[in-house]
């Protein structure tokens, strides 16, 4: 058994100590659905052909992941650290852009890769589109990439039937990682601002739902603009609600944050180069056990394995909070759906600008009486704001003003950087003026009998900036 003191020290070293490094970089990951316009399952042979053609055109990208069938699912450019990969399944492509100091450098490379890849897919009557849930998911073959990590992950998500007597319900989509897509941003954070950053940004999660929601479960639950929230919350990742969603607490200091980290659950580790997954278990309880029983993939099937916890297993602690503290000394913002492709940089721009105006944002939200001081927590407001109608107790014009004030703050932060990045916030002002977001636009358009094919095309366009 491993002492709590050892666990606490390792947690500190893994998550908090890296924030003492002084950097100022931006990392962006954009997951994008692949769509077969023939209204059939995405042809994985087409995906592999496109991958090979991309690598031939961009020879600096080297093989970074090969599945059990010999197909490449990840390519990495060691000079830029850009990664082209597939997320969970070959139905989702991901552009994980190497860290840079400015958004234009990232945007230029993303546009180049996206345009090239999209054109390749269209040769086979496939395309890419900027939606948080694959609009043709019902046609797709939802099978995980046959690789160590993704087989483990799917095995974990499928295990929801094994959990009994929990005060939660599980949805029926354990394969949701194969049809849902996000736009994630990582920003460097200092130890001094770490707690404040988490506290303040947690309070604007309801507003982010209004600005960025874009995951409509078409033909089911079409009144929800960000169904991704529910997919995470009501899966095996949400067995411990501290592992997902919002914090719902104000941290008074690093000790509080450390205690929160100790309250998380573990569900996987590696042994001898292979993943082992097991029923979600509280971190301290995990390290207090002499042995853990889990499942390991071997020769095409899973088998039981018994193993001893090791302090190094903390590197496999994988929370999926809306705001994640990472081992890189960064804050990862992961609550935003994939955006219409032309608006992709708006997510990073929004967060980057507000990081530059953290004190002002704190003051603005602390004084707010439009959404707060109405008897609702931030988490409850987020749940209300992913619906297709604003609650009656909210002053719509006041809400519009609050949203504009927040985006104005972000714009000011970007203006002070002096690089012109405030340009990327233009789509957010347009949404505020129209009281809408991409998910709401999808619902409205479908109710007006706009063809889904038209939305797929529109959301996939890479507009000029």
The domains of the chain, with CATH numbers, are 18-147+154-252+318-459 (3.30.590.20)
- Each residue's pLDDT tens digit, 39-65: 999 999 999 999 999 999 999 999 999
Cβ neighbours for 158, distance < 8 A, ≥ 6 positions apart = 174
The burial class, CB within 10 Å (0-12 / 13-18 / 19+), for 110 is buried
Position 385 scores a pLDDT of 98
Q: What is the mean pLDDT of the chain?
A: 96
Position 412 scores a pLDDT of 98
Phi, psi of 326 (to 5 degrees): -110, 170
Position 23 scores a pLDDT of 78
**Residue 358: CB atoms within 10 Å:** 18
Position 277 scores a pLDDT of 94
Position 279 scores a pLDDT of 96
Characterize the bridge pairing of strands 301-307 and 292-298.
Answer: antiparallel
Position 175 scores a pLDDT of 97
pTM score: 0.96
- Each residue's pLDDT tens digit, 335-344: 999 999 999 9
Q: Is the Cβ–Cβ distance between 275 and 152 less than 8 Å?
A: yes
Position 231 scores a pLDDT of 97
Task: Quote the DSSP letter at residue 339.
Answer: P
Helix and strand counts by DSSP (H, E) for the chain: 16, 15
CA dist 145 and 85 (Å) reads: 11
Position 166 scores a pLDDT of 86
Please list the ranges in the chain whose pLDDT falls under 50. Answer: none
The burial class, CB within 10 Å (0-12 / 13-18 / 19+), for 17 is middle
CA dist 271 and 307 (Å) reads: 8
Tokens, residue 118: 């999209």
């Amino acid at each position: 058994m491993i002492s709590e003191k050892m666990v606490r020290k390792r947690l500190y070293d893994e998550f908090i100590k890296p924030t003492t490094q002084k950097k100022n970089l931006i990392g962006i990951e954009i997951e994008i659905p692949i769509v077969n316009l023939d209204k059939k399952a995405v042809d994985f042979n087409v995906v592999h052909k496109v991958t090979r053609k991309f690598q031939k055109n961009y020879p600096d990208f080297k093989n970074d992941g090969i599945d059990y069938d010999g197909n490449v699912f990840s390519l990495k450019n060691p000079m830029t650290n850009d990664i082209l990969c597939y997320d969970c399944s070959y139905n989702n492509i991901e552009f994980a852009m190497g860290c840079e100091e400015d958004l234009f450098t990232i945007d230029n490379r993303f546009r180049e890769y996206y345009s090239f890849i999209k054109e390749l897919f269209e040769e086979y009557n496939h395309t890419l589109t900027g939606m948080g849930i694959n609009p043709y998911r019902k046609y797709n073959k939802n099978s995980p990439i046959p690789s160590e990590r993704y087989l483990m992950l799917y095995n974990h998500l499928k295990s929801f039937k094994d959990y009994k007597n929990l005060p939660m319900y599980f949805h029926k989509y354990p394969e949701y990682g194969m049809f849902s897509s996000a736009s994630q941003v990582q920003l460097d954070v200092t130890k001094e601002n770490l707690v404040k950053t988490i506290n303040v940004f947690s309070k604007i999660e309801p507003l982010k739902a209004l600005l960025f929601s874009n995951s409509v479960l078409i033909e089911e639950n079409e009144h929800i603009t960000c169904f991704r929230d529910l997919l995470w919350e009501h899966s095996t990742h949400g067995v411990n609600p501290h592992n997902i969603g919002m914090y719902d607490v104000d941290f008074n200091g690093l000790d509080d944050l450390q205690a929160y980290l100790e309250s998380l659950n573990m569900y996987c580790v590696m042994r001898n180069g292979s993943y082992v997954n097991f029923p979600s278990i509280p971190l301290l309880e995990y390290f207090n056990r002499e042995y853990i029983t889990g499942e390991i993939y071997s020769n095409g099937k899973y088998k039981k394995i018994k193993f001893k916890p090791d302090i190094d297993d903390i590197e496999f602690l994988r929370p999926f909070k809306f705001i994640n503290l990472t081992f890189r000394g960064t804050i990862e913002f992961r609550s935003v759906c994939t955006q219409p492709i032309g608006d992709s940089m708006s997510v990073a721009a929004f967060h980057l600008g507000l990081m530059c105006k953290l004190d002002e944002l704190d003051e603005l939200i602390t004084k707010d009486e439009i959404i707060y001081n109405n008897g609702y927590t931030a988490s409850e407001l987020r749940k209300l704001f992913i619906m297709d109608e604003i609650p009656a107790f909210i002053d719509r014009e006041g809400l519009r003003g609050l949203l504009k004030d927040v985006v104005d703050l972000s714009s000011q932060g970007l203006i002070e950087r002096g690089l012109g990045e405030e340009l990327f916030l233009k789509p957010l002002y347009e949404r505020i003026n129209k009281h809408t977001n991409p998910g709401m636009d999808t619902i409205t358009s479908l109710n007006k009998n706009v063809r889904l094919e038209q939305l797929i095309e529109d959301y996939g366009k890479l507009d000029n900036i």
